[in-house]
Amino acid sequence: MSPVKRADLEAVYARLSGPLFRGPIASARTVEELEAARVEALGRKSGLTELLKGLKDLSLDEKREFAPKVQALKAEFEALVEKRRAELEAAADEASLQSLDLDLSLPALAPARGRRHPLAQTLDEMAAIFGLMGYSWAEGPLVEDERHNFEALNIPEHHAARDLQDTFYLQDMPLLLRTHTSPVQIRTMESVRPPLRVICPGRVFRHEAVDATHSAVFHQVEGLAVDKGITFADLKGTLQTFLQRLFGPKTKTRFLPSYYPFTEPSADVYASCIFCSGSGCPICKRTGWIEIMGAGMVHPNVFKAVDYDPEVWSGFAFGIGVDRVAMLRLGVPDLRLFYENDLRFLKQFDESLL
């Protein structure tokens, strides 16, 4: 091993550890200048790399003594580069931050998003509650025959009960526009044996002059449960559960006698007013109650019409008006707004994430 070699290396080391490289690194003004300085100091062709290569020619003892110094110098250079790089990047970021001047108050670029119709929203919400209670969907035609819309529902021809439902008939054919969703009960029972639980949501028609609270077209959610041992108490419990889901857990219900030809006993179902919680306001006409549903135990004649034995099976049926509930909940004062399809109306009924 030549001592000259050792001396050469010492000389190189001395040269390198001076300001020769430290200066350019510390004073680099751009990332590019810094990179050039880094290559000068630490690159493959740099003195330091040669110095590191030259170490292998030293004796073991010399290596032990000299190598750590060289390594330390390399680490120092690297640290210097990183420090300067961080300074330069911070300065660049700062400049970039300062240079951008967005008017953040300008309008957003909103993606186009439509809205489901408020009636569809309301109907779906009701149907979903019954779905969770084990009710399946059923549907039937809107153009119905007399048997399904009336006769099988214990509304014979030439019976005054037909006055309850003013009907649109089709010309030149024995068909009508269904006046309620109840014919779907009949169609379901004709095709399925009990026990069963179905809801029949859909559109119905009444021959009524159209005004703020009457529509010739509206929507109902009908329900039917048939099983052994179903009682009026089950009807009360089911509808209370439903109405508390729909209007809130504090909702109270009230059942009053009524008349529907296809149920016996029949009831009108009232919910405590959702606006005044029952204390009385103009919406509930100061009664604290809002009539919300019709319901009752399936009439034995209805069971007979579909060949169910009324001594074995019992059941309840109910119907709720979707349009009316939507009016109440959304504060819509005029039923006709639902059918005008003014975008200024339709766009109001957004469904929030909550």
Residues in 188-247 that interact with another protein by CB under 8 A: 195, 197, 203, 205, 207-210, 216-217, 225, 227, 229-234, 236-238, 240-241
Q: How far is the CB of 259 from another protein (least distance, A)?
A: 3
| Interface with another protein in residues 25-64 (CB under 8 A) | none
Q: Which residue has the tokens 């449960």?
A: 225
Q: Between vectors from CA 45 to CA 39 and to CA 48, what angle results, nearest 5°?
A: 80
**Does residue 117 interact with another protein by CB under 8 A?**
yes
Residue 343, Cβ density class (10 Å: 0-12 exposed, 13-18 middle, ≥19 buried) = exposed
Q: How far is the CB of 104 from another protein (least distance, A)?
A: 14
Q: How far is the CB of 160 from another protein (least distance, A)?
A: 4
Q: Which three-class secondary structure state does DSSP give residue 89? A: helix
**Does residue 252 interact with another protein by CB under 8 A?**
no
Q: How far is the CB of 94 from another protein (least distance, A)?
A: 28
How many whole angstroms from its chain centre is CA 217? 28
52-71 core/surface letters (b: 16 or more CB in 10 A; e: else)? eebeeebeeebeeebeeebe
Residue in 255, 308, 313, 318 binding another protein, rule: CB under 8 A: 255
Residue in 158, 191, 282, 353 binding another protein, rule: CB under 8 A: 158
Residue in 67, 143, 192, 283 binding another protein, rule: CB under 8 A: 143
| Interface with another protein in residues 159-178 (CB under 8 A) | 159-161, 163-164, 168-173, 175, 177
> E strand or H helix at 320, and its extent?
strand 314-321
Per CB under 8 A, the segment of 13-21, 30-38, 158-166, 183-191 that binds another protein is 158-166
Give whichever of 241 and 277 is closer to another protein, judged by the CB atom.
241
Per CB under 8 A, the segment of 69-77, 94-102, 275-283, 335-343 that binds another protein is 335-343
Per CB under 8 A, the segment of 14-22, 65-73, 89-97, 134-142 that binds another protein is 134-142
Ordered strands of the 196-205 beta sheet: 136-137, 196-205, 217-227, 314-321, 289-298, 263-272, 253-258
Size of the site for another protein (CB under 8 A): 86
Q: How far is the CB of 99 from another protein (least distance, A)?
A: 20
Contact 221, 130 (CB under 8 A): yes
| Interface with another protein in residues 259-318 (CB under 8 A) | 259, 261, 264-267, 297, 299-300, 314
Q: How far is the CB of 147 from another protein (least distance, A)?
A: 14
CA end-to-end distance (rounded Å), the chain: 82
What CA–CA distance (Å, rounded) separates 264 from 40? 100
Q: How far is the CB of 162 from another protein (least distance, A)?
A: 9
User: Positive or negative CA dihedral for 135, 136, 140, 146?
Assistant: negative
What CA–CA distance (Å, rounded) separates 286 from 280? 4
Residue type, 238: T
> E strand or H helix at 171, and its extent?
none
| Interface with another protein in residues 72-111 (CB under 8 A) | 106-107, 109, 111
Q: How far is the CB of 224 from another protein (least distance, A)?
A: 13
Alpha-carbon radius of gyration of the chain? 42
**Does residue 329 interact with another protein by CB under 8 A?**
no
